[in-house]
Each structure stands twice: as structure tokens, then as C-alpha cells.
Amino acid sequence: MVQPVYLDYNGTTPHDPEVITAMQPFLETEFGNPSSSHWYGIRPKRAVETARRQVAGLLGCQPDEVFFTSGGTESNNHAIKGMARALREKGRHLITSTVEHPAVLDVCRYLVQEGFETTFVDADETGMIRVDDVAAAIRPDTILISVMHANNEVGTIQPISKIAGIARQQGICIHTDAAQSLGKIVVDVQSMNVDMLSVAGHKLYAPKGVGALYVRKGLLPEKFCHGAGQEMGWRAGTENVMAVVGLGKACEMAERSLDYAGRHLKAMRDRLHTGLADGLADMNLNGHHEYRLPNTLSLSFKGLEANRILEEIGLDVAASAGAACHSDTVTLSHVLEAMRVPVEWAKGTVRFSTGRMTTADQIDRAVTVVVSAVRRLRGLTAVR
């Protein structure tokens, strides 16, 4: 059986062969605890520190500004809860956007229980956050702004450096969720001017269940997990050495191949978009046409339901209806609602996302399958 064409790289990525090779010794022979002082702990400890340098190299920061987590969700939780609690005597007002991942939105909503208040800044019809709207939301008691680097559903890239500039002028901490942008576009914490940045390994051809958080030197978020003091005391618990090594290798690979990867992702995405546009009418692109991740293609098919499209193409093409982290039922995503996409379009939205392994032949096969499925569904709808 020929496997379906995989076009859900924003949902998760396969393990890169180089990543698997790097992790192999820590699955088979190098089982030691990196905190152990004896011989068996030496190589695991060195491997964790090498991975820390590799992550820092991709982010443009110092290794001691990076600590490892269980993934992007934990990183977001640690950044937002940790800094909010650390700064609560200064103020209790947070700012985020209406198009954030639930791992940010739900954290901000949870903090209401602890006396914090969040302003949710609206996006425009392209999913972009207006810098002036963020500035207007700032109050004397604002302590933290969290805006994602790039949207996971439609790919819109936010003006983080400009938002961070305003935050800096006001002495406000700035965090960004960069889970989707890492390895696709330049992610440099110095040029972005952010204080904290979240990383998710499984969006980067590394394993699931590992991530990282960059914290600018001098900031002291409240500890996320108390215990024996691993990860410079910020996040206790024995490190998942194998996964950490995989994340480090993935970041090293992303740094050295970023230009090529970006060109390839965009070429495959645009080939898919052109092919579908040539074969179908009543199809709209969601997200910013220019400031968008090179691999992300969110399309709305008027009058159809995304779950029906995915059922029709499921044996041949793997894609996603809205955000892959949600349930498999089609509901109007909060991102499309925030962008004010009309219901008759929004309910038929499918997200395709290309990856390093995507080939032109796979794209051409996907075009044929999707065009046929949509035409078939529209024929059935017309009959009804």
C-alpha cells in the first residue's frame, strides 16, 4: 500500500535520520544519569551541554540562557506563569492576542484565578497583530506581553521585534511562542529583542516530549518544578537525555540548512497552491500573503465542510482541519473567528503544511487527489 502524502508538518514532523543517529547511543548504551558524578554520567552530561549549545546557536543566545522542557506547551506555561508570579508585586496585567495557541490562551485564562487580568488584542483579517493595538493595551500595571512569532494555523508572521521594542521602552517583559517558526525562518532572540522564547522539538524533526525555553540572562521566573535542581535550578527532574540530544541535533541541522529549507518549503507550498487554484474555483487563502511561513497553506473551500474533505482524501493525503492539536471534529477555529472569516468559508478550511521531506511528485499527487475530491463533493452538494 502506498502511504498517503504527508502534508501536516505543522502538526508534527518525522524524525530526521541524523536526529535518530544522534539519539541512538542514549537509547542503547549511554544510559547514565547526567547528574551522576561517576563514569556513566560523563557522556550524558556532555551530551546535554552540547545540545544546549546547539539550541543556543540556532537562537543566537548564550547556552546558559536555554533550559530544556517537555515541549512547547510546558515552555509557554513556564514563561507566562513563571514571570507573572515573579512580577506580581509590580502589576497583574498581561497582554496577548486572540490568535495564540491554546498553550498561551488557556494559561492566561487560568491566571485569572490568581488575580491576574489579560487583554486579548484582536488580529486583522490576515491574522496580523497591529503594533499600535498592543501599545494601546499597555497599562501602568502591565508586566508581560506574549505574542506568537508565527501562527500555527495560517502561518502569519507577527511583527515581534516592533512589539518587543515597545515593551522594552515601557520596561515590560516580552515572550514569544516560536514553536512553528523555528527551522523555517530566522529566529534570533537578539534581533527580535525578546526576553523569553518557546521551542517545541517535534515541530523541528526532533522527538515529541522535548522542548526548550530561552530566558534572557538576569530574568528570574518563578520555578516551574521543584526538586533536585537540574537545569540550573529552573526545572527540576532528570533530563530526557535521548530527546534532548535529538533536539540539539535538530537545531544544529536547522541552523546550517535554513536558507535551503526555506526555499524548498516555499517552492513545495506554492506548487501545491498553484495546482489547486488552477483546478478549483471558490477557494480562498487564509493568512498574510507576504508575511507568512514558507511552508503553510491554509485554504477555505466555500460551501464544504473540512471533515468531509479530509475523509475523501484521507487514504491519499494527510492534512489538517484547523489546528492539529485540537479534536478531529470540524469546528470554527478561534483563529479563523478572530480573522473574521465568513462561516461559509471557515467551515471548509484545510491546512496543508510542507516539510523538508516533501517532494514535487508528492505535491502533484496531492493536487490531483484534492481537486478530484472537492469537485466530487461539490457535485454531491449540487445534487442535494
The residues assigned a catalytic role are 325
Region for residue 33 given its phi and psi (left: phi exceeds 0; alpha: psi -120 to 50; beta: otherwise): beta
Place of cell 546557536: 57
Q: What share of the chain is helix, strand, coil (3-state, %, to 5)?
A: 45, 15, 40
- Cell numbers linked to 34: 547526567
In sequence order, the 6+-apart residues with CB closer than 8 A to the CB of 126 are 156, 287, 288, 289, 339
The strand pairing partners of 297, in sequence order, are 352
Alpha-carbon dihedral sign for residues 345, 350, 351, 352: negative
* Crossing angle (nearest 10°) for helices 360-383 and 306-313: 120
The C-alpha atoms of residue 55 and residue 307 are separated, in whole angstroms, by 37
Counts for the chain of helices (H) and strands (E), in that order: 12, 12
CB 303 within 8 Å of CB 282:
yes
SS3 at position 300: strand
- Cell numbers linked to 187: 529566529
The C-alpha atoms of residue 264 and residue 267 are separated, in whole angstroms, by 5
CB 172 within 8 Å of CB 76:
no
Alpha-carbon dihedral sign for residues 12, 194, 58, 249: negative
The strand pairing partners of 176, in sequence order, are 197
